Copies of this chain bind each other. A is one copy, B any other.
Amino acid sequence: MSRPTLKDIAEATGYSVSTVSRALADSAQISERTRHRIHEVSRRLGYQADPIGSLLRTPRPRVIGLLCVLGQELHVVYRDHLLAEAESRNLRVVTESIGPFRTAVDAVSNLRQLRCQALVVIDPATAAGADPGLLDGAVVIGQERGIPGADLVTSDNTRGMDQLVAHLASLGHRRLVYVDSVPGASAAARLRSFTRAADHAGISYRVVAGGADIDAGLAAVAPLLGEGGPLSPGAADRHTGVVCYNDQCAQGAIIAILRAGLRPGTDISVAGVDNSRLASSSAFDLTSIDRCPGQVARLAVDLAEARIESGTSSGPLQTLTVDTSLVARSSTGPAPQ
């Protein structure tokens, strides 16, 4: 036989289909005995509810749509956590990824079609250009409020940056370079946290334009390493550390430093943000700021669930904040004399 249905269980137990349905949903109005018996038979037959059937019937099914960019490692990490968290609360997640063959508009329309009652969007910069209103009522992860009509779960860089700057200061660094990203809410927020922390710690710094990928980091740092550049060992105002917008940018910085014949962590310290997989590789062993994706995911599911239960569009917009924290590795070390 193919997969057993409610009907099969009903026949096996002698109860009606609806009773079986209620029993398996742990409805309060079913007697303990029946409930037990039905559960048992269901287990014995290997019953698994067919989501298609219930989706079709349920007015507000517990389905969260996730819009992300699977090409970005951090998004995949968030997704893993989101799925685990959602599953533990009996919520489904359906994922759409923006990519070379999929626009944000297509993705969202697909999600709506699949009856998603709430929408979680990771880092909507990619999607923002599209339709204003496209992401209304969504739960946004990862930025300052870029989407006016959406809830927000954001990382507060303050704590992580404070820890990072304190860490560098305690290692004797007095002058740092900050590699910024392209203009945007996210870049502005991180830069602000950095300058605040540096000012506070009495560290002087220099901000240079960079970007969010490895090439940008390379291009930003390479010129600073040349004769007389602020990162060159012989410079009068020698800067001994580089803090980057994110890990990928920091990887570019490390490559630049290596190419210049210098040693990251010894001649120049480098740090990033995101605590990505490559950061923990021994090849880079990059000091980074962790954004606690597990916690972020949990809060995002909280908000999404609330929206599902309250009928998606109502209620005042919320902003939840998750603290970041430093993960120190060997890419940062004592400042050279």
Contacts and interface: CB of A to CB of B under 8 A. Distances in A.
Interface of A: 3, 48, 50-53, 55-56, 70-71, 73, 76, 79-81, 83-84, 87, 95, 97, 99-102, 109, 113-115, 213-215, 217-219, 251-252, 255, 258-259, 261, 263, 277-278, 281-284
A114 B283 contact: no
Contact of A283 (B81, B87, B252): B252
Contacts of A284: 214, 255
Given A80-B101, A214-B284, 20 more contacts: A3-B113, A48-B113, A52-B52, A52-B55, A52-B115, A56-B56, A71-B73, A71-B76, A71-B277, A80-B97, A80-B99, A83-B101, A83-B102, A213-B281, A215-B282, A218-B283, A219-B282, A252-B283, A255-B258, A258-B258
Report whether over half of chain A's contact residues are helix, strand or loop; otherwise say mixed. Answer: helix
Given A99-B80, A218-B283, A283-B255, A52 B48 contact: no
Nearest to A102: B83
A79 B83 contact: no
A162 B143 CA distance: 47
Contacts of A76: 70-71, 76, 97, 99
Contact of A101 (B3, B84, B95, B255): B84
> Copy number of this protein in the oligomer?
2
Given A52-B52, A113-B48, A218 B282 contact: yes
B52 A114 contact: yes
Contacts of A282: 215, 218-219
Contact of A50 (B80, B109, B113, B218): B113
A79 B84 contact: no
Nearest to A285: B215
Contact of A214 (B109, B255, B281): B281
